[in-house]
Amino acid sequence: MKPQYWFRWLSVQGAPRLVLRTQAKRGDLFAELMGGPTGYIDPYPLIERLRGRGRLIRTPISWASFDHELCRAILRDTRFGVLTPESFDVPGPVQKLAKYFPLPPNPVEPPSMLVIDPPEHTQMRKPVASAFTPRAIARLRDRVETVTEELLEALPSGGATDLVTAFSAQVPIAIISEMLGFPEKDKDLFLAWGDQMTPLLDVGISWRTHKRALKSMEVMNSYLDDHIARLRRTPGDDILSTLVSAGELDTYALKATASLLMGAGFETTVNLIGNGVVQLLSHPDQLDRLRTDPELWPNAVEEVLRFDSPVQTTARTALCDVEIGGEKLRRGDTIVLSLAGANRDPGVFADPGRFDVARSNAKDHLSFSSGIHVCLGASLARMEGVYALQALFDRFPDLQLDGTPRRRELFTLHGYERMPVRLGHRAAAPEPTTV
């Protein structure tokens, strides 16, 4: 492993890891929430205890907010920028070494639009946005339905399976692969890379996890070099071919964009579908309501996004001295914004700890962020979630958990890595509607 990777881990992950664990041992609830202890912990009891301390709280690690109004305001406020590795107090020599030996293109380093501000962010986002217009998403609907039905047909009627690997991960990876022009045979590669690289979105991951992520990053970088070169010779009708042909982004930026779309177009939807299955099986009265009134399915997906947020948190850095939420922040101060906390704010959502598929304002959640960094693929994720969940429960009406699902031990992304289920009998596929 290259020495600069170890220095990068030490500055961006190792030092915060030590601080988090030390603070958690001292009883700091926020450090515990962010992953101070090992293993999965239920974040929601900690969130509610921290919420009681105020709308904007100062912790030994950073500022934090669990307030819906304040989180939304900060996400939309141009006085705050995205959090990048450079936002940390990294020693000068380490910063110089990291810049001299850059990481391969990836979703959590510039020029990924996830971690850059205007004007660079605008330049990166604009050419990609056309692939996620309402008209573009509508064109994908038939393909989402076809992929979902093929996967459901392949599940063993009356048998058992791991629903994450056999279904919830397969729907979004098939769609984003097609959008980026990847061969279908390579889907398993993307699943493995996604699983190994997503921990980079957390703070304080172990050296072993970091090293595994960077190895995957290197392999994916080589793959994307070959793929982009192939698209330059024979472009298709996919989004990456369009970006290559436009010539607005260099190869490094193209690879950063592709890796971001792979991650964002995959991980959030996997968690959305998996979380939705568990919540509906845990609340059979709500599932019965959907069977009685299937027009509630889109709202049910919004409630899943609100109640059990696939993305739990994001962060911003003050770009100047600013007063907000009754507190004075200095330039460079970091604020962790709990999207999960905002989504259960009792000032916005009545009885927020109740899962209600008919909740009238469920769509007011912040699970896709807000402001200029709002998720480009939100409409696609919603559409995939609605069709996948409705079709799954229609085709397997007796679906039941077959053991305890295992959560991923991550702070930022909230979902399941394993979900054993007993499928029960397979109902007939619905007849296609005629107009």
Walk along the chain (435 residues) and give the pLDDT tens digit of each residue: 667 778 778 877 888 888 888 998 999 999 999 887 677 889 999 999 999 999 999 998 899 999 999 999 999 999 999 965 444 444 455 455 555 556 777 788 888 888 899 999 988 888 888 888 888 888 889 999 999 999 999 999 989 999 999 999 999 999 999 999 998 889 888 888 888 888 888 888 889 998 999 899 899 999 999 999 999 999 998 889 999 998 888 898 999 999 888 887 788 899 999 999 999 999 999 999 999 999 999 999 999 999 999 999 999 999 999 999 999 999 999 999 999 999 999 999 999 999 999 999 999 999 999 999 999 899 999 999 999 999 999 999 999 999 999 999 888 999 999 999 999 999 987 665 433
Exposed (0-12), middle (13-18) or buried (19+): which is 74, by Cβ within 10 Å? buried
Between the alpha carbon of residue 19 and those of residues 6, 242, 380, the distances in Å are 18, 44, 38
What does the block give as tokens for 137? 């998403």
Q: Please name the fold of domain 3-94+104-422.
A: Cytochrome p450 (1.10.630)
- CA torsion angle for 255, 256, 262, 265 (degrees, to 10)? -140
Exposed (0-12), middle (13-18) or buried (19+): which is 347, by Cβ within 10 Å? exposed
Q: Are 272 and 310 in contact (CB under 8 A)?
A: yes
3-state secondary structure string across 306-355: HHCCCECEEEEEECCCEEECCEEECCCCEEEEEHHHHCCCCCCCCCCCCC
Partner residues linked to 328 by β-bridges = 323
Peptide bond into 16 cis (omega under 30): no
The pLDDT, as a whole number, for residue 86 is: 47
If you write DSSP's letter for every residue of 14-64 in order, what string do you get?
IHHHHHHHHHHHTT-HHHHHTT-SSS---HHHHHHHHHTT-SSEE-SS-EE
The pLDDT, as a whole number, for residue 192 is: 86
Contacts of 59 (CB under 8 A, 6+ apart): 28, 30, 31
Q: Is 175 strand, coil or helix?
A: helix
pTM assigned to the model: 0.93
Alpha-helical regions (H) of 116-169: 120-129, 134-154, 163
Domain ranges of the chain: 3-94+104-422
The pLDDT, as a whole number, for residue 229 is: 95
The pLDDT, as a whole number, for residue 96 is: 54
Q: Are 274 and 303 in contact (CB under 8 A)?
A: no
CA angle 245, 247, 250 (to 5 degrees): 120
Between the alpha carbon of residue 171 and those of residues 168, 194, 226, 384, 427, the distances in Å are 6, 14, 25, 7, 20
The pLDDT, as a whole number, for residue 90 is: 47
The pLDDT, as a whole number, for residue 359 is: 98
